[in-house]
Amino acid sequence: MSDTNVGDDGPALAAALDAQARKTLKQEISNIVSPFRISQEEPPFTMGELIIMGIVMKECRFGNEEWCTSEEDIMLWIGDTFLYYAREMMSALVSGWAYQHHGFDDQQIYSGPPLYGFYDALHSHDLPVEGCTNKYIDWIAYQIVPHRARAYLSRWLCPPGEGSFRFLDLPPELRNRIYNNLFHFSGSTIDTYRSKLPKHEYEDPSYHQYRDKRRLKITELRHDAPDEQEFSNSRTRFSWVHPEEVSKLLSILVTCRQIHTEAKAIFYSNNVFAFDSISSLSHTLRYRLHSNRAQFLRHVQIDMGIFHRNGSDHIEDAFWRLASIPLDSLKLIESHCPAPVDSNRKSYCLRGKRHDQKLAKIGSKLDALVEACRNAKHVVFVPVQWTERDGEEHYCYALKRCVIGKLKQEGKEKMKCCSMMLPPKEREEMVD
């Protein structure tokens, strides 16, 4: 009987403890911010800390749904709590009104948030908040559990620690968990770009910074086929999420040789590396990524572009290099249909028995692509899509058809795993 009572009281006890934790946290935050309320100097809190405080202090609940706070309530709490930010918000709003009042072009009217840096901080990958929605609300809202808020605000809520410890004294399993939390961007792509501007155009130091960002940029939470259920408890429903500069994230790799060896494998193997072109892939594998690091790549995504037109040296070099890497997944995105404009593209791309002549012209250079597809555990072809005048949508399967045809010629049609990202109707039409 005792066990039954404990089981029955479990949810109620958990709810009571959660309510007490939220109440205690609110009181501690009130005590922290109290000395800075009427100061004309900028409070010593980061924008991320202010957002976490605002979510905790202004959270509300509808029915039995989860606690959440809207963007507007977060900004209003910051403005109501701190005189410094109240003036900053008023200045931003007045500036926007002045632009509009004097008849400037709509694009020049101030349209950003009244708090500088608010959205950069809100969309930071390291901010431990989640987007939320339910049947009672139709606006953007965020939530956070008390222990995560307390951890993020630890420099204000926890007494300073004494002594130190050696990171390498931690067990390897725990170190790997730390590396994974630091380097693994779930649902993200790491986009690589090749800078095309001449070096002499980067005289301003800010341009050097911009060029470095273009070479390796993490785009968080890019989904190919999102659905309502997938987004129900994620910020992906509302916005992009971006981490800090890559150079800062990877700074731990230069700490010592042992950490570099342990951590680099997790960074390269747990993330999806996306290339905006075949030339970008070739440039990265040839010049930017040493072979001892490239061997850790496991997930690669490539925009194939108009590769049948200029598919010369880049294809052969890039894919022979890629074929030597044991990939878990390879996604090939077709962004151009190779069918002639004056032909029946649907018949040409969907039911054509012969391979596209333009693809065939590149000959042996396509062998490298076929080899890379054969060696990957899972290959996904994303066909290019277009809409006819009658509104009907069609897809071009030239790339997949060409790869499968090459494998048939070699008598090695079977790949480890292959799929096509298509709606069910189009999948049926593709079957001969």
Site of tokens 């490298």: 368
d(CA 218, CA 277): 16
Q: Strand, helix or coil at 93?
A: helix
Q: Strand, helix or coil at 301?
A: strand
Number of residues that this document lists for the chain: 432
10: tokens are: 């479990």
Burial of 347 (0-12, 13-18, 19+ CB in 10 A): exposed
Whether 163 is in a domain gets the answer no
pLDDT band at residue 412 under the 50/70/90 scheme: low
Mean of all residue pLDDT scores within the chain: 73
Whether 58 is in a domain gets the answer yes
Residues 273 and 352 in one domain: yes
d(CA 194, CA 314): 14
The whole-number pLDDT of residue 163 equals 77
Stretch (H or E) spanning 208: helix 205-215
Residues 145 and 202 in one domain: no
Task: Return the percent helix, strand and coil in the chain, to nearest 5.
Answer: 50, 10, 35
Higher per-residue pLDDT: 233 or 180: 180
Residues 81 and 112 in one domain: yes
What pLDDT, in 10s, does the model give residues 415-428?
555 555 544 444 33
Whether 309 is in a domain gets the answer yes
Whether 233 is in a domain gets the answer no
What pLDDT, in 10s, does the model give residues 165-193?
889 999 999 999 999 888 887 666 777 75
d(CA 272, CA 143): 28
Q: Strand, helix or coil at 136?
A: coil
Residues 187 and 137 in one domain: no
Higher per-residue pLDDT: 225 or 334: 334
Domain with 141, as residue range(s), is: 17-157
Q: Mean pLDDT lowest for which of 52-66, 78-92, 147-161, 196-210? A: 196-210
Mean pLDDT of 30-45: 94
Last residue of a domain, one of 106, 134, 157: 157
Residue 132 pairs with which residues in a beta bridge?
A: 141
The whole-number pLDDT of residue 149 equals 93
d(CA 43, CA 33): 9
Higher per-residue pLDDT: 403 or 30: 30
Nearest Cα neighbor of 293 from 265, 319, 322, 323 is 265
Whether 283 is in a domain gets the answer yes
Cβ 385 vs Cβ 394: under 8 Å: yes
The whole-number pLDDT of residue 89 equals 87
Residues 211 and 351 in one domain: yes
Higher per-residue pLDDT: 38 or 163: 38
The residues near 207 (Cβ < 8 Å, ≥ 6 apart) are: 201
Percent share of the chain, pLDDT over 90: 22
pLDDT band at residue 224 under the 50/70/90 scheme: very low
Higher per-residue pLDDT: 322 or 197: 322
Q: Mean pLDDT lowest for which of 100-109, 219-228, 395-404? A: 219-228
Residues 267 and 197 in one domain: yes
Confidence check: pLDDT of 116 > 70: yes
> Which 8-state DSSP code applies to residue 126?
T
Residues 293 and 401 in one domain: yes
Stretch (H or E) spanning 274: strand 272-275
Residues 50 and 80 in one domain: yes
Mean pLDDT of 401-425: 60
Whether 4 is in a domain gets the answer no
Percent share of the chain, pLDDT over 70: 61
Residues 150 and 192 in one domain: no
Q: Strand, helix or coil at 187?
A: coil
Stretch (H or E) spanning 70: strand 69-70
d(CA 247, CA 252): 10
The whole-number pLDDT of residue 355 equals 43
Confidence check: pLDDT of 3 > 80: no
Residues 356 and 317 in one domain: yes
Confidence check: pLDDT of 214 > 50: no
- Identify the top-confidence range among 127-141, 190-204, 280-294, 388-402: 280-294
User: What's the domain count of the chain?
Assistant: 2
- Identify the top-confidence range among 135-149, 205-219, 220-234, 386-400: 135-149
Residues 407 and 351 in one domain: yes
pLDDT band at residue 395 under the 50/70/90 scheme: confident
The whole-number pLDDT of residue 47 equals 94
The H-assigned helical ranges of 299-364 are 307-310, 313-323, 345-346, 357-360
Last residue of a domain, one of 132, 157, 182: 157
What pLDDT, in 10s, does the model give residues 242-299?
555 666 777 888 889 999 989 988 989 988 888 888 888 888 888 878 888 889 999 9
The whole-number pLDDT of residue 108 equals 45
Stretch (H or E) spanning 190: strand 189-192
The one-letter amino acid code at 210 reads Y
> Which 8-state DSSP code applies to residue 337?
-
The whole-number pLDDT of residue 338 equals 55
The whole-number pLDDT of residue 193 equals 59
Higher per-residue pLDDT: 45 or 163: 45
Last residue of a domain, one of 157, 181, 201: 157
Cβ 385 vs Cβ 423: under 8 Å: no
Whether 11 is in a domain gets the answer no
d(CA 191, CA 147): 33
Residues 378 and 262 in one domain: yes
209: tokens are: 């910074």
Calculate the CA dihedral of residues 75, 80, 83, 89 and round it to 10 degrees.
40
Whether 234 is in a domain gets the answer no
Confidence check: pLDDT of 341 > 60: no
pLDDT band at residue 117 under the 50/70/90 scheme: confident
